[in-house]
Structure 1
């Protein structure tokens, strides 16, 4: 049976190759380290270290023992650290949120890449509603959010654009716009433009027609699906990102290019005080994933 102090003495000496530094790291005397190693060598039946007045080095048997024992110590340390983190309420799971189907695909790919780089880090990807996105982020239930709306909050950090897409206009399938290849912002004069919660980009065209013909704005819809339902019912039109026409095909809604509106930029957002190494590693994985696909 190998005692814990024997394990630490051997592994530490194998790393330091110096009895004095080993004694300092294990908080015992140099004589105690030497005595422990000699005891181990007697039990093994062969030297584990070659010692001279100038150097200490592992023998082949000692090197093999070190390679066998090192992973076991790492597993013990990692297991204890996980227990400590759990006891303090610190999760090993990174919680990331997205709005819209395309965002889920991107985050899932980034999660797989991060797990390949850091097998001990699990990523939980969840969909959030527009109205809940920022509150969940600020409340800590979501640590990273893929979003298309800007923020000027000092407590939130927004990363560089990962994906950029054209801005489209969702219109009722029977609307005159539905038969056109594109419309301009000026064409929206006098047209009711629906809004999603918090006026997210895509819910307003960012440019306004001349002041004498303002865009008519409606109350905000409670969710994106609700907004599309209102569009289909002829209650108004809705500016959206181009990916919507692929993931939200509806017989009562047509999608037309909004030609002179600025594009939609998708970015990762996280709390300034939550910029952990794990969050930064996930952001790097998402950036690398997008770059490799470009």
Structure 2
């Protein structure tokens, strides 16, 4: 059944009058009559009893109306919801982040966004390294704070919002813990804790290379799925991990020391979203994030 056939049938079932049905749908009476006859041929039975004085539903027509109406109303509501989500700025916007620094920044962005759009609330959700972009693709979040580079074909990535210098998390008992700074070349002397395999290879290679700049191999250590797991392994002396300057503020542990690595590329962060999920409220949240970045340093 075509949409216009469903609309003609349900409207006639409500009005039980061809003229009023035609007026409501802004078509001719002849068009309604032709549409209903076509529908009855498809069904193979009359849906309406017609006399010179009145129009009534047949038993089959009444059954079709009862079964068709809820489904049609749901389709109309779903289309309306999609339009509202695309055009309006209300409801709840779900935004994901990795690490406490990202959560702190997004809370500031949420305050700016809510001031501008009080009818739309923001729900901040913590993600794990092993999630990758999975929770974005599943619809659990509409935006997520991404660590660059992020080169997923189904995603759009916004501008960099803040950056963090690299530090190496080492066991407090390791000789590196007594150094004022380290170089990427020093990584040839230790085991590097490995990220979960769900992370894209290009991302892992950029931030946790398998070789030093001179080409010396970096021995792989155990795999960890979350940052607390990583720190537990580091503290136990099972390996080291390249993290950021924010880590000592949020993840201070007596068994872990953070040492600057000045020659490592900094981490840059920005918002990412599914290209097919670019709604007005997503656009406005990204703008609020840019304005927050420009108003004060991280």
The alignment partner of 1:188 has SS state of helix
Sort the Cα spacing of 1:86 and 1:121 in 2 relative to 1 into closer, same or farther, 3 A: farther
Cα distance change of structure 1 residues 95 and 87 upon mapping to structure 2, 3 Å threshold: same
DSSP 3-state at the match of 1:161: coil
Match of 1:237 among 232, 236, 240: 240
Once the two structures are TM-superposed, the CA of residue 135 in structure 1 deviates from its matched residue by 0.3
Cα RMSD, aligned residues only: 2.4
Aligned to 2:275: 272
1:39-69 superposed Cα distances (whole Å, 9 cap, x missing partner): xxxxxxxxxxxxxxxxxxxxxxxxxxxxxxx
Q: How many residues align?
A: 212
Aligned pairs for 1:1-294 within 5 A: 84=77, 88=81, 92-197=91-196, 198=199, 204=208, 208-211=212-215, 213-294=216-297
- How many angstroms apart in 1 are the aligned matches of 2:236 and 2:107? 34
Tell me the distance in 1 between the aligned counterparts of 2:145 and 2:290. Answer: 12
Q: Which residue in 2 is equivalent to 1:66? A: none
Relative to the length of structure 2, the TM-score reads 0.66
Task: Tell whether the 8 Å contact from 1:205 to 1:239 is kept in structure 2 after alignment.
Answer: no
1:127-169 residue CA offsets vs partner (Å, 9 max, x unmatched): 1111114100111111000121422221011111100110000
Question: What residue ranges of structure 1 are gaps of 5+ in the alignment?
Answer: 1-26, 28-82
Instruction: Show CA shifts across 1:243-285 (max 9, x none).
Output: 0111000000000001211011011111011111100100110
CA, structure 1 residues 133+209, in 2 after alignment: closer, same or farther (shift >3 Å)?
A: closer
What secondary structure, in the 3-state scheme, does the structure 2 residue paired with 1:265 have? strand
CA contact (8 A) 1:137 1:145 kept: yes
Mark the runs of 5 or more structure 2 residues left unpaired by the alignment: 1-25, 27-75
Q: How far is the alpha carbon of 1:190 from its aligned partner?
A: 3.2
Work out whether residues 244 and 267 of structure 2, in 8 Å CA contact, stay in contact via their aligned partners in 1: yes
**Structure 1 105/86 Cα, relative in aligned 2: closer, same or farther at 3 Å?**
farther
Q: For residue 203 of structure 1, report the CA deviation from its aligned partner.
A: 5.3
Q: CA deviation at 1:196?
A: 2.4
Alpha-carbon separation, structure 1, partners of 2:128 and 2:250: 16
| Separation of aligned partners in 1, 2:289 and 2:81 | 29
